[in-house]
Structure 1
Amino acid sequence: MLRKVCLLGIGSTLLAGCFATNTSQAPIASTYPITEQQKMQAAHHWDVLAQHQAELLTQNDLLKSQPLYIKGADQVTPFSTAFDSLLTSQLVEKGAYVKTSAAQAAQISYKVQVVKHDDRGAIRPPKGALTALATGIAVATIPFNHWGEPALALLPAAGAADLFGGNLTSETDQEVVITTQVTMADQVVYSNSSIYYINPGDNGHYKPAPVKNVNVSNEW
């Protein structure tokens, strides 16, 4: 019996050696390291973006002393209308020379792309969220066990909500990619892209309104 077991073990080892280990018929799925992405959900956030772009533009060595002209968006949207004004204000505030015509000026333009994911996988909660939740539940049980008034059990949870509520937001299946570029003599001398989550109901801020077809008939 022992001899058969030894022979079986040797045979299995030799058979395994005929095949490469750690192989797969197709690439296996892996995850990216955790990163953060901001969520744009207020006109103030457009101003924050304009301020950020103005800082980068005025600090760029090629553009510091260059007159700038902001080219309006090819398609008018609520975002483009506001961003034109906000970027102009931020550039002027930082001392940039902003012209109202394109002659002899570096041209600033931007592109906006709305991305909708139709089949996105699960997104893990922020690091420590589950631990904090478990801790909060455990702390909330203390009043039931030691305090006379059950309503006091709400205090730890309310305190945690007040402290951390502003840090909480949710991912969505829609994002917006905003790319700001500067061209001089048909050469791109500056390009910067920012990506944000947006609420699904806000995608109309970044896309032109759909054209409504009107049926025309000569019948009365």
Structure 2
Amino acid sequence: MLRKVCLLGIGSTLLAGCFGTHTSQAPLATTYPVTAQQKMQAAHHWDVMAQHQAELLTQHELLKSQPLYIKSADEATPFSTAFDTLLTSQLVEKGAYVKTSSEQAAQVSYKVQVVEHKDRGHIRAPEGAWTALAAGIAVATVPYNQWAEPALALIPAAAAVDIFSGSWASETDQEVVITTQVVMADQVVYSNSNIYYINPGDNDHYTPATNRGIQLKSTPVSNEW
């Protein structure tokens, strides 16, 4: 009996060796390391972005003493109209030489692309979120079980919400890619891209009216007078 088992094991091993190991018919899905992405939810966030870009531009070796001209978007949007003035203000505040014409100046422009995901998979919660939630529930049960007033059980949970709610932001299916570039003598000397989440109802802030879907009303036609 032992001999048969050994022979069966050896045969199985030899048979398995006939096939490639660690193989798959298609690439296996895997995840990226956990990263964070900011969410645009206020005009103030546009000003923060303008400040960041102004700092990078004024610190750039080729642009420190170079006159700058901010080229407006070909088609105005609420974002482009605001960002023109915000970036101008931030550059002037930092001592940059901003011209109102493009003559003998480096041209600053930006591109905006709204990305809408149609079939995004599950986005996992931040590391430790479930542990914190479980701990909060466990703490809340202590006063519920031992204090005379059950409503007092909400105090620990409410305190936790007060502390951490300011850092909460929900992921959405829509993002915006904003790229700022500087061109000198037909050469791109500066390019910086940033990606942000946006609320679905805010995508018209970044999309020209001519590019938005226009719904045509259908009119019934009849041959009767």
Identity %: 79
- Three-state SS of the structure 1 residue aligned to 2:9 is helix
- Which digits, 9 at most, give the CA deviation of each residue in 1:150-179, with x for residues without a partner? 111010011001000101111000000000
Per-residue deviation, 1:3: 2.1
Partner amino acid, structure 2, of 1:27: P
Per-residue deviation, 1:75: 1.2
Is 1:114–2:114 an aligned residue pair? yes
Structure 1 partner of 2:20: 20
Partner amino acid, structure 2, of 1:22: H
Per-residue deviation, 1:213: 9.0
Q: 1:3 to 1:72 in 2, by over 3 A?
A: same
| TM-score normalized with structure 1 length | 0.95
Q: 1:66 to 1:208 in 2, by over 3 A?
A: same
Per-residue deviation, 1:91: 0.2
- 1:49-198 paired onto structure 2 within 5 Å: 49-198=49-198
Per-residue deviation, 1:214: 9.1
- Three-state SS of the structure 1 residue aligned to 2:194 is strand
Distance 1:133 1:75 in 2: 47
- Three-state SS of the structure 2 residue aligned to 1:86 is helix
Deviates more, 1:18-27 or 1:46-55: 18-27
Per-residue deviation, 1:26: 1.2
Per-residue deviation, 1:195: 0.2
Deviates more, 1:2-11 or 1:131-140: 2-11
Distance 1:138 1:25 in 2: 45
Distance 1:100 1:213 in 2: 39
Query: Unmatched 5+ residue regions in structure 1?
Result: 216-220
Number of aligned pairs? 215
Query: Unmatched 5+ residue regions in structure 2?
Result: 218-225
Per-residue deviation, 1:2: 2.2
Per-residue deviation, 1:21: 1.2
Per-residue deviation, 1:63: 0.2
Structure 2 partner of 1:45: 45
RMSD after superposition:
1.4
